[in-house]
Structure 1
């Protein structure tokens, strides 16, 4: 595979992308900093099509990233391969308002192929390729220039190894018939709504301190205010005001700005600074949350009787057994909450009773709950026996 020098000019980037436009796939990774900012600061982009690979410097003076971005979000013929790509997708959404698609995430794929739950990239490289990655540059400051050879070698290895891993995982998915299992997961990961929300909706991502309309109205106003402050200053939300403090302000709003010093999480400066004044104006203008915006009450989860609790434990054991037999990470099949619902008698809207999850696990789970499947000890080993015909 040809490894290019760091690309810092538009012409070189355009030439690279023009050659990759006929590829079947491109592997992509990014290096970014976001500890001290609201928006992640993109510092490096790595890309490979299996034939050549390059690192691209988005901080280079005058570089035009449009050819690369068009390849990622407009070209629907090329599969874009990431590993645990959620934050990478967020970056490209921020730049373009779109997410790369079609998408293949090797971390999710590895869960369907028995490599474990949320396997890290280094562990996946070791398991598939037998290589040990140099992690020495992992926590480097990617915003500093110039980047040295060790940093660039570390960064480019992420996509060169990924270009080898992807065909291997894809072949295994095809041979095992599990490719279709991932369609739903990939579509969810690439959903733009995951990354786009208006400041007025920020409150919906918070723990609600109350269900009173006046409290929720203040929380909605405060969360929107904080979102705008954080975006405008390019600071993490928690650097403006933490969630718990917003909840306290919504529940017990101070009457005067000088009373802000009594709120845990706010410094003494808030009693007379401009941001404190804007916070008080926000509280003053907040209206009770309209009835049509009130969040639906969370569905009441059926209480588990002692017997149902035991059944839930048996379902967890069955999940462990079935996952081990099929080589699928249990987390990809279902979560403990759904097992409890099944044990409590719920049959509607459970993923494990639909599609491939039903075939792999849900049918046996239902049989266990409804008495058609039982655990037994045979020759000193745990075994399962059926009673009558299964549905």
Structure 2
């Protein structure tokens, strides 16, 4: 494989992208910094196919990233391969308002062919290629220039390894016939709604107890205010105020600005500075949440009672058994909250009750809840047994014994 020197000019990048556009797939990775900024700062992009690989410096003066971004977001003929690519996709979305498509994530794919829930990149490389990844450059400052040879070699290794691993994973998926299982998961990863940052919806990410419309309306206003403050200063939202501080302000609003000095998580200066004044104006202008905006009531967390909780535990045991039997990550089949809903009698609008998940696991889960499935130990291993099948087997043995006992 040809490894190019660090690309720092528009022409070399355009030429590279023109060649890569003829590939079936490209492996992609990014290096970025986000500890001190609101928006992640893109510092390096690595890309490879089976023939060549390169690292691109998006911080190089005058470089035009359009050919690269167009390749990633507009070219439907080239599959974009990532590993744990959520943050990479977010960065591309922030730059373009679009997400890479079609997309393939090797971390997600491993869930369909192994019991790995979230396999790390180093472990992925070790298991498929037998190579130990040098992690020495992992936590360096990628925004500093010039980049060292060690940093660039480490970064390009991410995509050269990935370009070799992807065909192997794809071959395994084809062999097991589980490729279709991943379609929904990959589309979720590429869904722009996952990355659209609407300050008016920021309150939904904050844990708040209760369903008081006034309190939630106040939380919505404060959370939106914090997003705008953080964006304008380009600093992490937590540097303005932490989530728990916002929840406290929403539930126990200060009567006057001087009271902000008593709020845990805010500095004394807020009692008479401009940001404190803006916060108080936001609190004063907050409106109660409308009925349409109220978070939906869901069965999640509904009391199951002792028997229901036991059923939920049995469902989780069943999930572990089935995941082990077919060598798949349990989380790909179902989540714990879905199993609790099943135990509570819910059947509608659950992923486990639809499509391949129902065929592979859901119908057995329902049978367990309805008393049609039991656990048994065979050769020292726990397995599932349908009650009807077991009963028929017992009846057959009994009939055979009776016939032998009859003179």
TM-score range, shorter chain: over 0.9
> What is the aligned partner in structure 2 of residue 145 from structure 1?
145
The yes-or-no answer on 1:287 pairing with 2:287 is yes
Give the 3-state SS of the residue equivalent to 1:101 in structure 2: coil
- Taking the aligned partners of 2:24 and 2:41, their CA distance within structure 1 comes to 29
Q: CA deviation at 1:147?
A: 0.7
> What is the aligned partner in structure 2 of residue 372 from structure 1?
372
Give the 3-state SS of the residue equivalent to 1:384 in structure 2: strand
- Taking the aligned partners of 2:149 and 2:327, their CA distance within structure 1 comes to 39
For residues 167-225 of structure 1, the C-alpha deviation after alignment (integer angstroms, 9 at most, x for no partner) is: 11111111111111001101111111111132112112212344323222221111111
For residues 221-256 of structure 1, the C-alpha deviation after alignment (integer angstroms, 9 at most, x for no partner) is: 111110000011011111001111111212222222
Give the 3-state SS of the residue equivalent to 2:173 in structure 1: helix
Q: Does the 8 Å CA contact 1:17/1:71 hold for their aligned counterparts?
A: yes
Q: CA deviation at 1:270?
A: 0.7
> What is the aligned partner in structure 2 of residue 167 from structure 1?
167
Note the residue ranges of structure 2 that are not aligned, 5 or more in a row: 391-407
Q: CA deviation at 1:379?
A: 4.8
Q: TM-score, normalised by structure 1?
A: 0.96
Q: Does the 8 Å CA contact 2:320/2:330 hold for their aligned counterparts?
A: yes
Give the 3-state SS of the residue equivalent to 1:38 in structure 2: coil
- With over 3 angstroms needed to count, the CA separation of the structure-2 counterparts of 1:286 and 1:344, relative to structure 1, is closer
- Taking the aligned partners of 1:379 and 1:19, their CA distance within structure 2 comes to 57
- With over 3 angstroms needed to count, the CA separation of the structure-2 counterparts of 1:132 and 1:24, relative to structure 1, is same
- With over 3 angstroms needed to count, the CA separation of the structure-2 counterparts of 1:382 and 1:286, relative to structure 1, is closer
Q: Does the 8 Å CA contact 1:209/1:251 hold for their aligned counterparts?
A: no
Q: CA deviation at 1:93?
A: 0.4
Give the 3-state SS of the residue equivalent to 1:182 in structure 2: helix
Q: Does the 8 Å CA contact 2:115/2:330 hold for their aligned counterparts?
A: no
For residues 91-123 of structure 1, the C-alpha deviation after alignment (integer angstroms, 9 at most, x for no partner) is: 000000010000000000011111511000110
- Residues 72-111 of structure 1 aligned to structure 2 (within 5 Å): 72-111=72-111
- Residues 159-238 of structure 1 aligned to structure 2 (within 5 Å): 159-238=159-238
Higher CA-based Rg:
2
Give the 3-state SS of the residue equivalent to 2:377 in structure 1: strand
- Taking the aligned partners of 1:382 and 1:91, their CA distance within structure 2 comes to 45
- Taking the aligned partners of 2:308 and 2:251, their CA distance within structure 1 comes to 38
Q: TM-score, normalised by structure 2?
A: 0.92
For residues 42-82 of structure 1, the C-alpha deviation after alignment (integer angstroms, 9 at most, x for no partner) is: 00000001110000000000000000000000111110000
- Taking the aligned partners of 2:287 and 2:381, their CA distance within structure 1 comes to 64
- Taking the aligned partners of 1:359 and 1:288, their CA distance within structure 2 comes to 44
- Taking the aligned partners of 1:18 and 1:312, their CA distance within structure 2 comes to 54
Instruction: Give the number of aligned pairs.
Output: 390
- Taking the aligned partners of 2:387 and 2:115, their CA distance within structure 1 comes to 34
> What is the aligned partner in structure 2 of residue 60 from structure 1?
60
- Taking the aligned partners of 1:103 and 1:282, their CA distance within structure 2 comes to 41
Q: CA deviation at 1:15?
A: 0.5
Q: Does the 8 Å CA contact 1:8/1:56 hold for their aligned counterparts?
A: yes
Q: Does the 8 Å CA contact 1:34/1:41 hold for their aligned counterparts?
A: yes
For residues 278-298 of structure 1, the C-alpha deviation after alignment (integer angstroms, 9 at most, x for no partner) is: 111212222222333333333
Note the residue ranges of structure 1 that are not aligned, 5 or more in a row: none
The yes-or-no answer on 1:239 pairing with 2:243 is no
Q: Does the 8 Å CA contact 1:375/1:383 hold for their aligned counterparts?
A: yes
- With over 3 angstroms needed to count, the CA separation of the structure-2 counterparts of 1:273 and 1:115, relative to structure 1, is same
Q: CA deviation at 1:366?
A: 2.1
